[in-house]
Every structure is written in structure tokens, then in C-alpha cells.
Amino acid sequence: MMVIPGPASLELGGRIASEMGVEASPVGHRLFPDGESYIRMTGRVEGEAVVIVQTTAPEQDRRLMQAFMMAETARDLGAERVALVAPYLAYSRQDKRFLEGECLTLDVVMGLIECVGVDDLIAIDAHSEASLRAVEEKHNVRVHNLSAMPLIAEHLKGTGFDGAYSLSPDVGAIHQAEAAARVLGGGCGFFEKERDRKTGEIRMRVEDLDIEGRNAVVFDDIISSGGTMAKAVEGLKGQGASRVAAACTHALLMDEAEERIRNAGADVILATDTVSNPFSGVSVAGLVADYIRSHLNIV
């Protein structure tokens, strides 16, 4: 088997390879002056089960295209099986037609992944499990969605948040706070978020919680503009929470997101290495490697 880290996931791909006990097989990569990508397989993939690791966080389109190029090339050169680890799966939030005429981007991405010959897609905390299952039925790709929430909670447990209250900023994502609460042991709950589909503006209904003087953690899949996280942190601090951590799997942290979250009162920001940045204190490499070995039987 081979682990091929794509240009967007050199570090995480290297970590997954090392967890699996193999040398990573990097690809040759450069960008042409007009922005197009060049990809060249440097290892021999013929007859191999290959695991391509490429996150698709911004710049999403380029990184998706590079993932397609790697998968198609591996297939064309005779790889026996292709698994794509896209730890952050771009376009997975537009999984429904919220307004008439909208493009179902998750469906488009999955169709392209199928087209380039990927057998298994592995994502971490992709936005909606139900939507993933729905697109899986339409396409000939096996989809595996792993959760990093217990790992994030374990890390927080060891850094002063043992017994902290776990909060989901939206009722639809309560399963994430529940998974974390099983580790932290301090109970869990949710606020209710509403996003204006045209302006993107967020309104949050803050429930009364018994958290005065207690530590708390907000768990979300993604921090993008930071609006959701900032409102949730503010809601907890407003009710007298002591230390509050803003935790997520994928810290995209666009524009002023970090500042917004800090200004809302967050004492800690923590994320995983699905997107590499100064907050990726938790690695998903072991989780992915174990899953590939035990569920995909690639060793």
C-alpha cells in the first residue's frame, strides 16, 4: 500500500504514513504562472492500494482539482484501489436546495470523486451525516465519515477542561456535544441558531444554563467567519461561565474570525490538523490510520 500526501496535506499525509508504518510517497507538484496545477506521481502505483491525502479547505477549487488529478493518475497508472482522505470536505454545507434553483454542491463534488475512480472517500466530521448517506446512494463511492470530537475532548480534558459543560451552537449538531460530553463528563446542551439564507446573518437563541462559575466548551464542526462560535461563546460568558474554549474540527478562520471569537471572550481556541494552522493542536492521523487498517483492510 502507499500513502500519497497531496500538496495541501503534506504534514498530515506524512503523519498518516508514519502511523501506518510506511514511507510517504509525495507527488511532484507546481503551479503554472496562470494558476493551473501540475501533478506527477513519483512512486510506482501499479497494483497498489493507494491512500491519497488532500484536504480541500481554501483554496477549495484548486485543492479539489489536485485531488481529482492525483486519483485519476493513480487509476490510470494501474492502482488496484484508490482511497481519498479529504479530511475537510469542501462544499458539504450546500447539501440542500435552501432557495429555489441552487446548486447541490455536495452532489457535484461526489459525482466528480466517483468519476476519477475513487473507491473510498474518508472525511472527518463532514457537515451532515444524513446528506453524505444520501449522496452515497447516488454514487458508486463508499463514504466514511469519522468524528474527531472525542479526540478534541480528550485533549481539553488534559488541559483543565475535565468536567466542563459541552455546548453545541445548534440543535442539529448536538451529537457532537454529546460525544464530547461522554469524555469530559460535565453534561451538554445546545443553543438554537438561525442563519438568514440571503444575508448570511446569524441569530442565536441562548438557552438558560446552569453554568455560573463552571468551565465550558463550544464544539462545532467548522469555524469559518467565526460568527457562530462568537455568538455561542458570548452566550456562555453572559451566563457567568468561567473559562470557555472554542473547539472545532476544521478551523478555517477566515478574515477576522479569530479576533471575533477572542473578543467574544474565548480563553482557548482548539482545532485539528485537518486544516493546518496555529490552532491545530489535535492530530487526526492516528484516527485515520486505525480506520483504514480496520475498516478498509488496507495494510
Q: Residues in the site for ligand R5P, rule: CB under 6 A?
A: 169-170, 173, 220-229
CB of 188 to ligand R5P, least distance (A): 16
Task: Tell me whether residue 43 or residue 172 sits nearer to ligand R5P (CB atom).
Answer: 172
Catalytic member of 96, 138, 193, 198: 193
> Measuring CA to CA, which residue among 115, 169, 127, 121 is closest to residue 288?
121
Burial class of 231 by CB neighbour count within 10 A (0 to 12, 13 to 18, 19+): buried
Complex with ligand R5P: residue 108 or 202, whichever CB lies closer: 202
Distance CA 214, CA 66 (A): 45
Question: What's the min distance (Å) between Cβ of 155 and ligand R5P?
Answer: 20
At residue 91, the 3 state secondary structure works out as coil
Provide, rounded to whole angstroms, the least separation between the CB of residue 119 and ligand R5P.
Answer: 28
What distance in Å separates the CA atoms of residue 289 and residue 21, rounded to the nearest whole number?
10
Q: Which residue, 175 or 293, is less far from ligand R5P as judged by CB? A: 175
In terms of CB distance, is 156 or 246 closer to ligand R5P?
246
Known catalytic residue at 237: no
- Kindly state the smallest distance separating residue 118's Cβ from ligand R5P, in Å: 25
Q: Which is nearer to ligand R5P, 169 or 186 (CB)?
A: 169
* Number of CB atoms found within 10 A of residue 87's CB: 31
Question: Shortest CA distance to 12 belongs to which of 249, 283, 250, 247?
Answer: 283
**Minimum CB–partner distance for residue 221 and ligand R5P (Å):** 5
Return d(Cα 277, Cα 123) in angstroms, integer. Answer: 19
At 123, the amino acid letter reads: A
Burial of 80 (0-12, 13-18, 19+ CB in 10 A): middle
Query: Annotated active-site positions, please?
Result: 193
